[in-house]
Every structure is written in structure tokens, then in C-alpha cells.
């Protein structure tokens, strides 16, 4: 009863999705049938969605090469009643939306087979549509004669990942009102080459095995936006870095017919509120060293909510309490604390950029700019509190005391600029977060401009 109650409470937190568009297969050697996420029913209406899916997730891992593959969308409801952002009260429930998606994808497969029985077909599912693809893969495993036999699959943010997917963690459980059912893990013995890609801490694809671990549970909830960041922001990776991380053998596992790729999440979601607090209040000089200090230790505590020793392809439902080796935990915490101290020191010791003295012409221009701002009532340029106070007096007495403005000499302005406090709390301070034992390893890669959907 306790396990079922916990399951129902936790499952109701999650909601993620997929979506596609139905198009007749073309005459290319390979055809890809692509579906989108929840509230994305037609990929062909999503701007650059299809090209990005093709270049970032299909071409690197399937036969759907750029320039030699028809990429078509498959339309389905992609709804989740009653949530406003996913269709509202007029929407289908999650289970019914998935069921309609299965019918749409199976119809597309039959059409492809009828057009060319020898043609290879690649299926792509994201979030809710990954659940659709899971059901279709189960169907294909029975070798239906009216569907293609040469099939490859790619899934991102898969809620049915056997060890980590939300719908696999709570397999067999249903929230009746929502019609949101734990539909179990994606099969791994169907003989269909499959690539399953997930970001670490994605609430749908990398949900904690032990949700009573509040560090792990809160980390997943706070990081819910990770689930929607595979194509938009790449979870902080550039496109080149993301490709390198996906191809890093340290981030890959093979189980049955499936290659599981788990991409490390660089910044622990649990500390993001503290980071944002510093940014919002201009206090990064305080918050960034604190984040650097506590993040490695928090990672160890978060990872206690996972079972990284079990393969991602082996079904692993939720549990209440993990088995903890006290010696190993003590060692991990000590190492994390030491890493945090080093990271915090590196953050604090990062010196501010030295300020060059202004040239005479620059000093005169700066003084003139200050005068203009005073006359306009704008004193934002003056960072020194003393100058702000004097400027306020100048504005109040400007009509009667014109000489007050002359007190601001170029030398005083230069001195104020040279002594103004600077914020040294950037995140790129050379500190290194060591991932907890068993967690994914971040790959190094050449940098490139971040590229997302417009």
C-alpha cells in the first residue's frame, strides 16, 4: 500500500510528450517516420524540427544519412488531459493519445511496406511518442507480414527506458482519473537496432529508483525543463559537444538490441535556484563559491536515489530504500567535500579583470556622459554609492547650485572606475565537478555555436 501510494503521488508530477505527422513514404533508399512530443502533433508544422532531428539524432546513429533519406512526419493527438499546455479539458487522456499514436504509426508502416517491401524504415520517437514507438516495437517483434522487416529506431527522452523511464519505474500502476498508465519498459530482444538517448536527471527518462530520497526527487522536479531541451538548448551543450558526448563510449551501454546513451547533465538542477538567486540579486560573488562548495556533495546524495549498477536495459521498478555501503559512502562524501573546497577556492581566487586608466580623451568623454546622465535624471552609470548620493543632491539642487556638478573631475571619475567592485562569480572558474561513482561521464569536444530550433 505504501509503495502504491508513493507511486501514485510521484507519477502525477510527470508529464512529457511527443508528436508527429503522417506523410506517404518517398522513393529514397531509407524513409524515416518522425513523431514529436506532447503538444507537437505535426512535426512538419514545427519549423526546423525535422531537419534537426535528422542531422542530430538520425544521421549519426542510423542509415538515414543526410541527403539520402526521406524524413516524414506522422500526425497523432499528442495530448494530455486535463493540462492546459497539452490540450486542456477538451484533450484526450495520455493513454488514449498514445493509443491513437500507435494506430497512426502502424498505418504509416503499412503504407511504407506496401510502397516498397524492401525499403528500410527508421522510427523516431520523443517523450510521449517514444511510448508510441515502444508499443509499435512490441508489435514488430511479432513479425507482422504487412509491416517492414528492416527497421531501426531512435528515441529521446523515453519514458519507457527499462531502468530510469518513469513509465517503467511504475509499470502496471495507473492514475485512473488521468488515465496515465505505467506501460513498462521498451523491449530489448526484438532484434530491432535501437538507440535510446537520455539526459542525466531527465524526469521522464532518468527518474530516481528510490523516490523517498528527497535529494534525488527534488533534483528531478527542479530539473523538469531538461526533458524538453534535447533540441532547443541541448541542456547546455553546443551541437558539436552534444554529438561528442553521445558518441563517447563512456556514456554508452549496449543491452540486447539497444544502445543506451546517457548524456551527463553539467549543472546539478538542485543548485539552480541558488545560482539564479545570485544572478537576480547581483550576488554571484557569494552564491557561486557556495554552489561550487556544495554541488559535488549534493551529487553524491542525489545519486543515492539511482541504481547505476543495473544496466539501463534491465527493467528496474521503484524501491523504498537503497542498499548503502557505509565505507564507500564515507569515501565518496569525503572526496566530494574535498573537491568542493577546491572548486570554491578556485572560484574565490579568480581575480577581477584589471582596469586600464582612461586616456585624457576618454576621461573627458566619461565626464561629459556623467553630466548628461545627471541632467536627464539617470545615475545608473555610477556604481560608487558616494557618487550616487552626490548625484541625487545635484539633481535636487541643480537650479540653485550649478557649481556642484563641477566637483566631479575626470580624475575622480577614473578613480571611481578603478575602485568599483567587480563580480568574479562566473561559472567558468576552472573548478571541476567530479561525477558521483556510476554516473555518466562528460565528454570533451570542440566548441561550436549553440544551435537550436528557432
Helix residue ranges, H only, 214-325: 214-222, 239-247, 272-280, 284-303
Question: What angle, rounded to 10 degrees, do the helices at 284-303 and 272-280 form?
Answer: 170
Q: Which three cell numbers stand for residue 427?
A: 561559472
Q: In terms of Cα–Cα distance, which of 42, 136, 37 is closest to 80?
A: 37
CB 178 within 8 A of CB 12: yes
Catalytic residues: 127
Q: In terms of Cα–Cα distance, which of 426, 233, 434 is closest to 347?
A: 426
How many CA atoms are closer than 13 Å to the CA of 431, on its beta-carbon side? 31
- β-bridge pairing 30-34 and 120-126: parallel
CB 159 within 8 A of CB 188: no
Q: CA–CA separation, 248 vs 261, rounded Å?
A: 9
- How many other C-beta atoms can be found within 10 angstroms of the C-beta atom of residue 423? 13
Q: In terms of Cα–Cα distance, which of 38, 54, 160 is closest to 87?
A: 38
CB 224 within 8 A of CB 272: no
Q: Is the dihedral of CA 171, 174, 175, 179 positive or negative?
A: positive
Amino acid at each position: 500500500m505504501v509503495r502504491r501510494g508513493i507511486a501514485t503521488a510521484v507519477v502525477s508530477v510527470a508529464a512529457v510528450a511527443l508528436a508527429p505527422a503522417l506523410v506517404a513514404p518517398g522513393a529514397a533508399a531509407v524513409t524515416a517516420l518522425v513523431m514529436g512530443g506532447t503538444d507537437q502533433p505535426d512535426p512538419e508544422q514545427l519549423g526546423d524540427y525535422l531537419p534537426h532531428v535528422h542531422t542530430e539524432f538520425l544521421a549519426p546513429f542510423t542509415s538515414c544519412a543526410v541527403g539520402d533519406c526521406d524524413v516524414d512526419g506522422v500526425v497523432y493527438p499528442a495530448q494530455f488531459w486535463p493540462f492546459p499546455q497539452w490540450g486542456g479539458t477538451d484533450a484526450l487522456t495520455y493513454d488514449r493519445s498514445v493509443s491513437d499514436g500507435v494506430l497512426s504509426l502502424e498505418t504509416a508502416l503499412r503504407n511504407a511496406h506496401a510502397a516498397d517491401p524492401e525499403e528500410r524504415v527508421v522510427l523516431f520517437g520523443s517523450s510521449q511518442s517514444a511510448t508510441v514507438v515502444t508499443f509499435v516495437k512490441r508489435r514488430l517483434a511479432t513479425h507482422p507480414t504487412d509491416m517492414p522487416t528492416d527497421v531501426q529506431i531512435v528515441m529521446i527522452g523515453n519514458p519507457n527506458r527499462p531502468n530510469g523511464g518513469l513509465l517503467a519505474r511504475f509499470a502496471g500502476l495507473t492514475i485512473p482519473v488521468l488515465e496515465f498508465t505505467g506501460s513498462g519498459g521498451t523491449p530489448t530482444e526484438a532484434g530491432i537496432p535501437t538507440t535510446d538517448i537520455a539526459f542525466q536527471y531527465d524526469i521522464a527518462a532518468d527518474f530516481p529508483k528510490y523516490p523517498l530520497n528527497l535529494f534525488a526527487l527534488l533534483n528531478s522536479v527542479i530539473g523538469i525543463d531538461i526533458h524538453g531541451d534535447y533540441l532547443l538548448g541541448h541542456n547546455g551543450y553546443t551541437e558539436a559537444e552534444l554529438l561528442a558526448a553521445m558518441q563517447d563510449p563512456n556514456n554508452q551501454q549496449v543491452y540486447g538490441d539497444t544502445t543506451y546513451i546517457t548524456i551527463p547533465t553539467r549543472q546539478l538542477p538542485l543548485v539552480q535556484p541558488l545560482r539564479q538567486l545570485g544572478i537576480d540579486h547581483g550576488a554571484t560573488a557569494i552564491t557561486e563559491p557556495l554552489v561550487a562548495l556544495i554541488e559535488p556533495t549534493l551529487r553524491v546524495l542525489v545519486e543515492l536515489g539511482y541504481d547505476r549498477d543495473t544496466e539501463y536495459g534491465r527493467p528496474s521498478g521503484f524501491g523504498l530504500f537503497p542498499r548503502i555501503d557505509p565505507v564507500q559512502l564515507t569515501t565518496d562524501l569525503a572526496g566530494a567535500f574535498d573537491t568542493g573546497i577546491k572548486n570554491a577556492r578556485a572560484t574565490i581566487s579568480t581575480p577581477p579583470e584589471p582596469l586600464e586608466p582612461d586616456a585624457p580623451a576618454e576621461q573627458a568623454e566619461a565626464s561629459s556622459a556623467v553630466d548628461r546622465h545627471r541632467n536627464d535624471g539617470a545615475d545608473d552609470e555610477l556604481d560608487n554609492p558616494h557618487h550616487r548620493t552626490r548625484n541625487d543632491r545635484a539633481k535636487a539642487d541643480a537650479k540653485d547650485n550649478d557649481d556642484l556638478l563641477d566637483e566631479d573631475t575626470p580624475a575622480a571619475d577614473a578613480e571611481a572606475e578603478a575602485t568599483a567592485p567587480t563580480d568574479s562569480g562566473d561559472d567558468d572558474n576552472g573548478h571541476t565537478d567530479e561525477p558521483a561513482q556510476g554516473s555518466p561521464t562528460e565528454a570533451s569536444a570542440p566548441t561550436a555555436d549553440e544551435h537550436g530550433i528557432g
